[in-house]
Amino acid sequence: MRISTSTLIILFFISCSNTNDPYLLLNKIRQVSDFATTEVTIKKYILANREKKILFVKFADAKFAAEAHATLKFGIDLKRITQKNLTIEGKTAIVSVPQIKLVSFSMPPELTTEIPALSDRVKFLNTFKFRDIEEAYLETSNQIGESIEYLNIQEKVVNNTEVALTGLLKPFEIDQVIVNLEDNEIDISKYF
Amino acid sequence: MKQINKTIILIFSLLALLYLDNKFNIIGNITRHLFVKVRTEIRSTPTIIKNVLQTSQLISSEYCTETYCTHSDEFIFDIDHYIEQRKSDLESAFNQVKNEIIKLKDNGVSIERLHTGFVQKSSLEDLRQYHNVITLIDLCGGNEGEKNKCFKNEILNADWRGFQGNKVKKHFKQMSEDLEDIQENNKADIIYIGRGCVQAGIDFDAISKNLQVTQINESTLKITGMSSTIISAHINPWFIPGKIKGFEFWDSHKEKRLSYKDVPVTKSKCVHNIEQEAIGNGIKLKAIESGLYAISQLSNQMDSKIDSIIVEIPYYNYVNEMILADSIISTAEINNLDGNYYNLSKTIDNGTQILIQDNRSNAMMEHVGQLIEFCQRNVDCKTRTLVELIKVKKKIAS
């Protein structure tokens, strides 16, 4: 009994100290240090059908089509640059970056526009409602997440990061920054 | 033949029942679950890259929050709150009118000519208060005789509580009814819950022209022309991927009256709300502090000897943005203006001293002046607030 009580107490404290709890992120300003060096704008069509059957009678499909735009910003987390992965040779800094990170993702609602020529939302007894549109957006977002690994953006981000870091470190007498990427996979865990 | 008729009637009855249940939920949508099958298919489409740009933005602060938004603002408009504010304004106008009447009377102006004399001579500081006074005078009566009588008996010789007779009650009752009518007619609406994040930081591309970094001595850097900005305010389909939605459709009234175009308009309001909330909580100032912290941490890794950074920014502009983000100047915010509330010197974890200074000599005066100007223009700003702000300005000037 004593063991189980102390286990419970430990588990309670572990759960309290879990800073990844999404609910704890609300309503406070978090300090981050993400350096965005590459901005990618993408376009994606949303094509969705709503099928409806009553008994064995199939009604005409309601359709929703829209064009969505999203902005993705890639970069590195400056916190992850430590003395362990940094070498200074004269005025050149060589930085080993563990991973490229998706630091910002935005799919602005005002840039998602319906395509009237392809949409037919209201049919007899079958309407593509606003609630259904939300489902379509969620799926579109998932598809964008899945497509990131195929963007082949790593080299571009590394080059851009070198230029941006050189600019940032000029006051500290660094004339050139070379970035070595340790892992080619992009960290998209924050958004997808 | 009878059998066919019966079958047709049965099918039609069933369809009618389905339609009515679907529409009005008369038997708990049971028919829908039993007989209706709905499937939404979202097709896979390619992702098209439109543009790839080089940027240099340090995202140093992030604020995540939850809000709600509706298509028509009238729907969430709090009538009672609005009426209370208007009453408070009218009370303030009452006191002002009373003081003016006393002043004019002491100067030998006859009470019969008071209202014309008062309107001309009134030393009102802003247009809004002037309108409140006019409303009060109109409530006194239609013709000159009635107004004079009201000035003499109901204002000069009474207090606000005594003045609030039928006319005032009727005025506010009418105002309340008119507003309720507006709300009723605008009930076609959609409500979304929005959860998202605002990111702020230093956009080096935008500030590069003005940014100057000067080494004052071996250990001190001075930075001018630095500013922080909102880099992104976003509510995406997912807030926590796969778990919590960013936008959640909450409810709709008369959805058929709305078109798809109303959806992005409404959602944009949610995004605007979270952005304003973040600004009100000081994300921009925090972004500068955190940005400098990140840069100084980096400089430490480079074995730099810099241990002190002086940064000049339009500090009070950020403070004003914070105060005005919710369009309300609270008593606490006014109290904070009066005194040395804003501690501009910070020491961060690694020992680096960061001193933030405003880059204008008269910044504090300008700062309060802007708040006064805002209050004069904004109908929701209480007269009491305006008076307090003027007091603070005078105190700073002295």
pLDDT, tens digit, 9 for 90 and up, residues A3-45: 455 444 444 444 444 444 545 556 688 999 999 999 999 999 9
Long-range contacts of B18-23 (CB under 8 A, 24+ apart): B18/A54, B19/A125, B22/A125
First to last CA, chain A: 42
DSSP assigned state of A107: -
Instruction: Indicate the residue of A31, A109, A192 with minimum beta-carbon distance to B61.
Output: A31
Within 8 A by CB and 6+ apart from A63, the residues are A47, A48, A49, A50, A118, A119, A120, A121, A128
What does the pLDDT read at residue A102? Answer: 97
Instruction: Indicate the residue of B51, B240, B260 with minimum beta-carbon distance to A114.
Output: B260
- Asked whether the CA dihedral A80, A85, A91, A92 is positive or negative, the reply is negative
What does the pLDDT read at residue B116? Answer: 61
In 10 A of CB A175, how many CB atoms? 11
Joined together, the tokens standing for residue B102 give 């006393």
CA B54 to mean position of chain CA atoms: 34
Q: What 3-state DSSP class applies to B115?
A: helix
Minimal-distance CA residue of chain A relative to B199: A104
Joined together, the tokens standing for residue B320 give 């004003």
Burial (CB count within 10 angstroms: exposed 0-12, middle 13-18, buried 19+), residue B64:
buried
Mean pLDDT, residues A155-175: 91
Minimal-distance CA residue of chain A relative to B203: A36
Mean pLDDT, residues A37-65: 91
Burial (CB count within 10 angstroms: exposed 0-12, middle 13-18, buried 19+), residue B115:
buried
**Higher confidence at residue B36 or residue A85?**
A85
Joined together, the tokens standing for residue B340 give 């040395």
Joined together, the tokens standing for residue B371 give 């708040």
ipTM reported for the complex, 2 dp: 0.85
Instruction: Indicate the residue of B54, B199, B215 with minimum beta-carbon distance to A163.
Output: B54
Q: For residue A151, list chain B residues with Cβ-Cβ distance below 8 A.
A: 47, 49
Q: How close, in Å, is residue B185 to chain A by CA atoms?
A: 21
Instruction: Indicate the residue of A32, A86, A109 with minimum beta-carbon distance to B62.
Output: A32
* Cα–Cα distance, B200 to B143 (Å, whole number): 58
Amino acid identity of residue B258, one-letter, is: L
Instruction: Indicate the residue of A32, A81, A156 with minimum beta-carbon distance to B59.
Output: A32
Mean pLDDT, residues A66-76: 96
Phi first, then psi, for residue B233 (nearest 5°) are -125, 115
Contact between B105 and B119 (Cβ < 8 Å): no
What does the pLDDT read at residue A161? Answer: 96
Q: How close, in Å, is residue A8 to chain B by CA atoms?
A: 26
- Scan for tokens 């006064």, then name that residue: B372
What does the pLDDT read at residue A158? Answer: 96
* Cα–Cα distance, B19 to B35 (Å, whole number): 12
CB contact (8 A) between residue B49 and residue A108: no
Q: What single string gives the DSSP state of each residue in B174-198?
A: HHHHHHHHHHHHT--EEEEEEEEEE
Mean pLDDT, residues A158-167: 94
CB contact (8 A) between residue A78 and residue B245: no
In 10 A of CB A14, how many CB atoms? 9
Testing the interface with A: which of B31, B55, B193, B285 to mutate, by most A Cβ within 10 A? Answer: B55
First to last CA, chain B: 102
Q: How close, in Å, is residue B24 to chain A by CA atoms?
A: 13
Contact between A42 and B47 (Cβ < 8 Å): yes
- Scan for tokens 């507006």, then name that residue: B182
What does the pLDDT read at residue B119? Answer: 58
Across chain A, the runs of DSSP E, i.e. the strands, are 29-54, 57-77, 86-89, 92-97, 100-106, 113-114, 122-123, 126-127, 176-181, 186-187
Identify the CA nearest to B378 among candidates B327, B316, B322: B327
Q: What single string gives the DSSP state of each residue in B279-308?
A: HHTTHHHHHHHHHHHHHHHHHHHTT----E
- Tell me the pLDDT of chain B (398 aa) as tens digits: 778 888 888 888 877 877 777 667 777 666 666 677 888 899 999 999 999 999 999 999 999 999 999 887 656 667 787 888 788 878 887 887 787 777 767 776 666 666 665 555 554 455 566 677 777 777 777 777 777 777 777 777 777 777 777 777 888 888 888 888 777 766 657 889 999 999 999 999 999 888 888 888 888 888 888 899 999 999 999 999 989 999 998 877 767 777 888 889 999 999 999 999 999 998 998 999 899 888 888 877 877 778 888 888 888 888 888 888 888 888 888 877 755 445 566 666 666 788 887 777 677 788 888 888 888 877 777 777 888 888 888 887 77
Share above pLDDT 90 across residues of chain A, in percent, rounded to a whole number: 60
Testing the interface with A: which of B14, B36, B52, B350 to mutate, by most A Cβ within 10 A? Answer: B52
Q: What single string gives the DSSP state of each residue in B263-275?
A: HHHHHHHHHHHHH
Burial (CB count within 10 angstroms: exposed 0-12, middle 13-18, buried 19+), residue A20:
exposed
What does the pLDDT read at residue B169? Answer: 81
Burial (CB count within 10 angstroms: exposed 0-12, middle 13-18, buried 19+), residue A64:
buried
Identify the CA nearest to B324 among candidates B393, B373, B371, B269: B371
Joined together, the tokens standing for residue B101 give 């009447």
Joined together, the tokens standing for residue A11 give 């588990």
| Residue B294 at interface with chain A, using a CB cutoff of 8 Å | yes
- Scan for tokens 């974890």, then name that residue: B349
Instruction: Indicate the residue of B41, B61, B221 with minimum beta-carbon distance to A48.
Output: B41
CB contact (8 A) between residue A106 and residue B234: yes
Mean pLDDT, residues A43-69: 90
- Do the strands A92-97 and A100-106 form a parallel or antiparallel pair, or are they unpaired? unpaired
C-alpha distances (whole Å) from B292 to each of A20, B61, B227, B285 are: 25, 11, 11, 11
Of A9-23, A80-94, A142-156, B113-127, the one with minimum mean pLDDT is A9-23
pTM: 0.74
Q: How close, in Å, is residue B194 to chain A by CA atoms?
A: 11
